């Protein structure tokens, strides 16, 4: 049953069917979701809403005997956040697809809709900085454009928090990440989705997308200078060899330099029709070797954001066992929590026992490539996504 209640009556366990009023995140809340974490409840109550609709068939009713929970912001474990991050990714993907399709049809996009998505993503990152940005890597080819935007948004938000930027700046960073590739909506679909190598003429069309993005944002009356800047300059390189303007060094804004790092990292760790994804740790290692590509100060901050051994990385331990990183140790990046995978000497799968390397029981000696060991779908070691539960060997 759909029921209208006052905002003061909303509590954890209720399913928010629709928000009533002009709260800034109303467009995304209209999708509907179960209020499962104090941070979500706090954000809804702080939006200035008077009433909301709840669906009692999908969550608690106001007459439930369940106790009302006192709201307090809190972080939580990655495994606890994964389920909520899956829902957040799904809602954000639908919202981004709607906005981008409007842009493809020549319609305006609104800052309110963008802020709604960014706040949803930011809330997940605040609860756990690695769940959503790790899940966003697990995108299929047909949803790449939309989920890439969600992922870069999450990475920008996490990087902003790592740099201890003010909340309003973090929101701008997230919005810039979300819209950085909006210009791709001007690329014909047969080029954008082409599985093979692009011709020189087709590549020229793709390289024009930053300028197309600028025009789309201008046509929409979008006033975020940061979003416009990142949209136009996220393919510039620190040594001046990027495009569209060949800017170098300090001539590229810090926000655009951050956007370049987040954009590349998600692109090379995602599966595409024409290439296999790199593992997250391998990607960082390769990016570190691209001299002149990135601002090194900001790149080091990015490494601290995702972890030297990011969630999902395959590592070899001193005990000759392979393991997958499942959670960061925020105070000691070299000693994350891992899930055991393989005995290297015997080539035998191991029970996926969790091991906290901060205990000193074992240590990482190097990064490994899954293909070298015939392994696949390592995300099942940390993710509860059902589609990831397939054989490790293949």
Q: What is the pLDDT of residues 312-333, one digit of tens each?
A: 899 999 999 999 998 888 788 8
pLDDT tops 50 at residue 67? no
pLDDT tops 80 at residue 385? no
Tens of pLDDT, residues 180-207: 999 999 999 999 888 888 999 999 999 9
Q: How confident is the model at residue 275 (pLDDT cuts 50, 70, 90)?
A: confident
Tens of pLDDT, residues 86-95: 888 888 899 9
Rounded alpha-carbon distances, angstroms, from residue 356 to 201, 273, 277, 280: 51, 36, 27, 20
Q: How confident is the model at residue 213 (pLDDT cuts 50, 70, 90)?
A: very high
Respond yes or no on whether the N-terminal peptide bond of residue 194 is cis (omega within 30° of 0): no
How high is the pLDDT of residue 51?
Answer: 84
CATH code of the domain made up of 78-306: 1.10.3210.10
Stretch 355-381: mean pLDDT, rounded? 86
Pairing of strands 337-343, 321-327: antiparallel
| Rounded Cα–Cα distance for residues 320 and 350 (Å) | 12
Q: Are 30 and 55 in contact (CB under 8 A)?
A: no
Q: Are 380 and 388 in contact (CB under 8 A)?
A: yes
* Percentage above 70 pLDDT, the chain: 87
Across the chain, mean pLDDT equals: 85
| Rounded Cα–Cα distance for residues 278 and 265 (Å) | 9
Query: CB burial class (10 A; 0-12, 13-18, 19+) of residue 1?
Result: exposed
Tens of pLDDT, residues 236-269: 999 999 999 999 999 999 999 999 999 999 999 9
Nearest to 222 by CA among 99, 121, 98, 93: 99
Nearest to 20 by CA among 43, 54, 63, 58: 54
Nearest to 114 by CA among 129, 97, 126, 99: 99
pLDDT tops 70 at residue 28? no
Rounded alpha-carbon distances, angstroms, from residue 234 to 182, 185, 209, 221: 12, 16, 11, 21
Q: Where are the domains of the chain?
A: 2-55, 78-306, 314-388
The whole-model pTM stands at 0.77
How high is the pLDDT of residue 24?
Answer: 42
Position of tokens 């909520």?
Answer: 84
How high is the pLDDT of residue 43?
Answer: 73
Q: Are 121 and 114 in contact (CB under 8 A)?
A: no
Q: Are 137 and 190 in contact (CB under 8 A)?
A: no
Q: How confident is the model at residue 380 (pLDDT cuts 50, 70, 90)?
A: low
Up-side HSE of residue 271: CA atoms within 13 Å toward CB?
Answer: 10
Nearest to 272 by CA among 212, 192, 380: 192
How high is the pLDDT of residue 84?
Answer: 82
Q: Are 368 and 314 in contact (CB under 8 A)?
A: yes
Nearest to 260 by CA among 280, 278, 241: 241
How high is the pLDDT of residue 41?
Answer: 78
pLDDT tops 80 at residue 32? no
Nearest to 379 by CA among 325, 340, 321: 325
Q: Are 127 and 39 in contact (CB under 8 A)?
A: yes
How high is the pLDDT of residue 64?
Answer: 53
| Exposure string for 16-55, b = 16+ CB within 10 A, e = fewer | bbbbeeebbbbbbbebbbbbbbbbbbebbeebebeebbbb
């Amino acid at each position: 049953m759909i029921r209208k209640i006052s905002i003061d009556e909303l509590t954890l366990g209720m399913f928010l069917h629709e928000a009533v009023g002009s709260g800034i995140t109303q467009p995304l809340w209209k999708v509907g979701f179960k209020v499962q974490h104090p941070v979500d409840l706090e954000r809804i109550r702080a939006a200035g809403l008077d009433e909301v609709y709840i669906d009692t068939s999908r969550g608690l009713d106001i007459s439930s005997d369940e106790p009302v929970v006192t709201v307090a912001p809190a972080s939580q474990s990655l495994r606890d956040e994964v389920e909520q991050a899956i829902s957040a990714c799904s809602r954000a993907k639908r919202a981004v697809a709607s906005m981008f399709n409007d842009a493809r049809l020549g319609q305006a996009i609104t800052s309110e809709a963008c802020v709604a998505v960014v706040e949803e993503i930011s809330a997940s990152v605040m609860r756990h900085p690695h769940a959503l940005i790790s899940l966003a890597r697990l995108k299929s080819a047909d949803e790449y454009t939309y989920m890439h935007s969600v992922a870069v948004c999450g990475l920008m938000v996490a990087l902003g928090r790592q740099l201890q930027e003010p909340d309003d700046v973090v929101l701008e960073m997230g919005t810039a990440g979300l819209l950085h590739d909006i210009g791709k909506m001007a690329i014909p679909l047969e080029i954008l989705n082409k599985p093979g190598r692009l011709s020189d003429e087709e590549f020229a069309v793709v390289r024009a997308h930053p300028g197309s993005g600028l025009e789309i944002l201008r046509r929409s009356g979008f006033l975020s200078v940061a979003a416009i800047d990142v949209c136009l300059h996220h393919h510039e390189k620190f040594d001046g060899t990027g495009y569209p303007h060949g800017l170098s060094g300090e001539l590229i804004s810090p926000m655009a330099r951050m956007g370049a790092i987040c954009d590349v990292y998600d692109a090379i760790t995602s599966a595409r029709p024409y290439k296999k994804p790199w593992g997250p740790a391998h990607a960082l290692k390769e990016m570190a070797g691209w001299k002149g590509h990135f601002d090194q100060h900001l790149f080091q901050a990015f490494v601290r954001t995702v972890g030297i051994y990011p969630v999902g990385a395959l590592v070899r331990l001193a005990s000759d066992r392979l393991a997958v990183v499942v959670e960061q140790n925020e105070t000691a990046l070299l000693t994350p929590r891992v899930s055991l995978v393989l005995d290297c000497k015997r080539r035998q799968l191991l029970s996926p026992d969790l091991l906290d390397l901060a205990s000193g029981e074992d240590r990482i000696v190097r990064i490994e490539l899954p293909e070298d060991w015939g392994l696949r779908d390592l995300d099942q070691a940390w993710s509860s996504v059902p589609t990831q539960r397939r054989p490790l060997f293949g």
